[in-house]
Structure formats: C-alpha cells, structure tokens
Amino acid sequence: MTPKSILFVCLGNICRSPVAQGVFQYSLNERFGFDLSKNWILDSAGTSNYHNHEPPDIRAQQSTLIHDIDISHQRSRQFKLDDFDKFDQIFVMDASNYKNVLKLSKNSVHKNKIHLFLDSSYPDENRQVPDPYFGGNEGFENVFQMLKKASVNWLDKWTSVNESIE
Ligand code: 4NP
C-alpha cells in the first residue's frame, strides 16, 4: 500500500531530512499535481535534539532553492515515540539513524515502518545518505541529487505495485 504519511529522519534535522522532505514534496507535486499531493502528510525529525526549533542549515536551504524548492519554513524537532503511530513510513538517512529509531520501536509494526531512504535506488545494499554538515556546498548538491533520485524511485515503485494490483 502506498504510504500517505511519511517522516524523514536524520541526526540533526537541519540538513538531510529537511531536504528529503522538500524534495519528496516537490516530486509528489510533479507526479500528481499540487491538489492531489495534499493527500500526503510529510514531516521530518532528528534523532538528536541538538538543533531543536532551528530552521534548516543555510547551505541546505540554498542547495534546495537552486532547484526551486523552499524549505525555509521547516523547524527542527526530535523524533518521538508517537511518530511510530502517526506515520505510515519512516525514512532514515543512514545506519546510525536506523539503529537509533529502531531502539525506540515497541513492536514489529513500528519496526516494519523504518526503511533506509536510498533502498528504493539501491535495494539491499544498505546505502546511506552521507552527512554533509561538516563539508562544503558540493556535499549538499550531491545529497540533493541522491534524495531526488530516491524520491522518484519510491514513487515509481509504489505506482507500479498499484498498477499491477488493478
Ligand atoms: P543532519 O546533519 O543529521 O543531516 O541534519 C547534521 C547536523 C548537525 C549535526 C550533525 C549532523 N551536529 O552534530 O550538530
């Protein structure tokens, strides 16, 4: 079933997961149009509370704005237990995020919601979105391209499953 509420999770919630949310929203709009895309609920969170209430890193904002995506309204928050019930799918950026979210899960329903975001592009390879926080601008562009490809690939995957059922 196509998930309709999706949470994107990284460590600080100021670089990768806010960009993932923005890019996924853009990809939904491209594919389904603005009105139908309102049927999805997207959010992002960090496993840490290091940057609570802060906007995305300025480099993350700039790297998405270049591609016409404005993420400046987002604010960092920490992942919490009731996110497992609130969201159909929880996309994590790397193995450390996976481990930290898994630790908080209470049952197999929770656990089955957690996926590495790059699994759509590289199934079963455990590929991770590198943390661009300590690097330069080119790291953010690289992350943007990975997240864009993964977003499109998830939508392709869900669309083709639904078509084969019908
Ligand atoms: P993010 O990047 O997890 O992609 O938001 C980071 C941002 C801040 C820190 C680490 C990673 N930090 O240690 O403050």
> What pLDDT digit, counting tens, does each position of 37-66 carry?
999 999 999 999 999 999 999 999 999 999
**5-158: CATH topology:** Rossmann fold (3.40.50)
The single residue of 16, 59, 83, 94 carrying the catalytic annotation is 16
Pocket (CB within 6 angstroms of ligand 1): 10-16, 50, 131, 133
User: DSSP class of residue 78?
Assistant: B
Q: Is pLDDT at 74 greater than 90 in this prediction?
A: yes
Confidence of residue 163 (pLDDT cuts 50, 70, 90): low
The single residue of 83, 94, 119, 131 carrying the catalytic annotation is 131
Domain range annotation of the chain: 5-158
Instruction: Tell which atom from ligand 1 comes closest to the C-alpha of 10.
Output: 3
Which residue has tokens 């993932």? Answer: 20
The reported pTM is 0.96
